[in-house]
Amino acid sequence: MRITVKQQILLAPATVLLLLVLLLAFMQYTYRNLTLIRQEAKALGTTFIALAEADMAARRLHVIIRTFQHTGIASPEEMALVADLYDRLIDAIERIEPFGPLKENNELSQLHTLAGKLNPINGPEPEQTAELYAHLRAQLSNLSNTTQIHRNKLRHRHSQDINQLVERSVLVSISVIGLAIFLGLVLASYFSKRILNRIQLLSDSAGRIAGGELVLPPAPDNIRDELDALGVSIKRMTGRLIQVVGTEKLLEGAEDERRRIAMDLHDQSLTDLSAILRGIQSLAAKSVDQETLQSITALEQDLDRAITNLRDIMNNLHPQTLDILGLGAAIEAHLDRYCSIESLPEYHLYLDPKIGALNLNRVRQLALYRIALEAIQNVLKHAAASRYEVNLEVRDKTLVLSVEDNGNGIADLSDPGRGRGLSNIQERARSIGADVTWKNSRFSSGTRFELTLLVS
């Protein structure tokens, strides 16, 4: 199952929170019975008071009715008192709430029926009224006794339930809180140790890579979380870095070999040819016939051209100007020597004065020089341009090399082609950590080649 690092971090507090929520739910369910008991006790208290009030009203009504039986006369004030006492009796009976035994029998309904028969408006006979009141008082007394007995039982049970509830609640609370703390510590310790170990492994791998130990670090086959994805990314990055370093080493080796060949040509072949040229010149100084002198002169010119071509080959193999004067001067020397011909397009060169202050190693200078010459050669061969510009400048610690023309342009700038020259440019730029792009020119037509390299 795939569990992200965020989920692993939140798992321990989430488990503790879940257990506490379950504890609250249990406490709520446990105290629900206590709430029901309290509600029943409240109903019993209300019923007990209502029965007392009803019994008091019935007793007074009973006394007044017995007085009527002896005197046979009832004044209006006494009749009004009877009506008021009856209303109190009915109000008290209406406030009686059914509980326990009253829910299982029909005593409450019988009480309502009996109270209805005593309504003074119906005008019952005094003898019958006295009997009904006696029966009503007996029934109220019976209900009052039942209510009191039930209240005592409920009070005793309530006390026992509270004691049991407190004991059980304390026991369950301590158990759940203890379990929550234990599980939280176990989960937090397990996942934190697991995450920290994996982070330490990634840190060690990154440290070895930064220290120059270019060995592919271990990476999981299946990506389960962000750390696995980071491990795979570090492995891929290391693989690409190995390729880049390998390419850089290969190019550096190739440049060293070209430099060695140029030195060998200078020290051996060029020296030999120069010696031959001096011998021919000394031979021409001797008195010979005119025909032989012409042959010697032609041979001297051919040998001089061969020496010039050899010097060009040596300069292409390893430009001495680059070692002596630097990158900008080497590009300028190449343009002056090979691109100032009338048949070639007009060019403009801009060299930022800050170029000389850059700390570029020999490998980077050689790569940039080769890339610049290849970009210029592409303009001369393929662009059919009448003008182009070469710029080498520094912008916010970024070296920018651009070659821009007003030629035909490239149909698809996202894929400028797979020619050997463009592939060499991309490969050399990748070896020194530079980015290359081809854009639309600022001229009305043409292409802008741009290389950017972050420098310190």
- Among the listed residues 294, 266, 299, the one whose alpha carbon sits nearest the alpha carbon of residue 280: 299
What burial class does residue 305 get, using C-beta atoms within 10 Å of its C-beta: 0-12 exposed, 13-18 middle, 19+ buried? exposed
Q: What is the DSSP string of 356-391?
A: GG----HHHHHHHHHHHHHHHHHIIIII--SEEEEE
Q: pLDDT band at residue 393, thresholds of 50, 70 and 90?
A: very high
| Torsion sign, CA atoms 312, 314, 317, 322 | negative
Phi, psi of 402 (to 5 degrees): -135, 145
Q: How many Cβ atoms are within 10 Å of 62's Cβ, its own excluded?
A: 19
Question: What is the pLDDT, as a whole number, of residue 348?
Answer: 94
What does the alpha-carbon distance between residue 364 and residue 252 come to, in Å, rounded to a whole number?
10
- Among the listed residues 325, 454, 330, 328, the one whose alpha carbon sits nearest the alpha carbon of residue 399: 454
Provide the residue type at 124 as one letter.
P
Question: What is the pLDDT, as a whole number, of residue 73?
Answer: 65
Question: What is the pLDDT, as a whole number, of residue 372?
Answer: 92
Whole-structure pTM value? 0.46
What burial class does residue 166 get, using C-beta atoms within 10 Å of its C-beta: 0-12 exposed, 13-18 middle, 19+ buried? exposed
Question: What is the pLDDT, as a whole number, of residue 345?
Answer: 92
Structural domains in the chain? Answer: 5-187 (1.20.120), 325-454 (3.30.565.10)
Question: What is the pLDDT, as a whole number, of residue 287?
Answer: 56
Q: What is the tens place of the pLDDT at every residue in 128-141?
A: 676 777 787 777 78
Structure tokens at 182: 């234990």
Paired residues of 350 in beta bridges: 391
Question: What is the pLDDT, as a whole number, of residue 436?
Answer: 93
Q: What are the C-alpha distances in Å from 201 to residues 9, 300, 382?
A: 19, 71, 52
Q: Give the mean model confidence (pLDDT) for residues 281-301.
A: 74
Q: Give the mean model confidence (pLDDT) for residues 108-121.
A: 74
Q: What is the tens place of the pLDDT at every residue in 2-38?
A: 677 777 788 888 888 888 888 888 877 777 766 777 7
The owner of tokens 């290391």 is 238
Q: What is the tens place of the pLDDT at every residue in 402-450?
A: 999 999 888 766 666 556 778 888 888 888 889 999 999 988 889 999 9
What does the alpha-carbon distance between residue 358 and residue 351 come to, in Å, rounded to a whole number?
13
What does the alpha-carbon distance between residue 373 and residue 248 come to, in Å, rounded to a whole number?
19
Q: What is the tens place of the pLDDT at every residue in 173-230?
A: 888 888 888 888 888 888 888 878 877 877 777 777 677 666 677 777 777 777 777 7
What does the alpha-carbon distance between residue 207 and residue 334 come to, in Å, rounded to a whole number?
43
What does the alpha-carbon distance between residue 262 and residue 311 come to, in Å, rounded to a whole number?
9
Phi, psi of 406 (to 5 degrees): -115, 35
What does the alpha-carbon distance between residue 83 and residue 58 come to, in Å, rounded to a whole number?
12
Q: Which of 17-26, 250-259, 286-295 has the lowest mean pLDDT?
A: 250-259
What does the alpha-carbon distance between residue 456 and residue 453 come to, in Å, rounded to a whole number?
10
Paired residues of 435 in beta bridges: 452
What burial class does residue 444 get, using C-beta atoms within 10 Å of its C-beta: 0-12 exposed, 13-18 middle, 19+ buried? exposed
Q: Which helix (H) or strand (E) holds 448?
A: strand 447-454
Q: How many Cβ atoms are within 10 Å of 205's Cβ, its own excluded?
A: 20
What burial class does residue 124 get, using C-beta atoms within 10 Å of its C-beta: 0-12 exposed, 13-18 middle, 19+ buried? middle
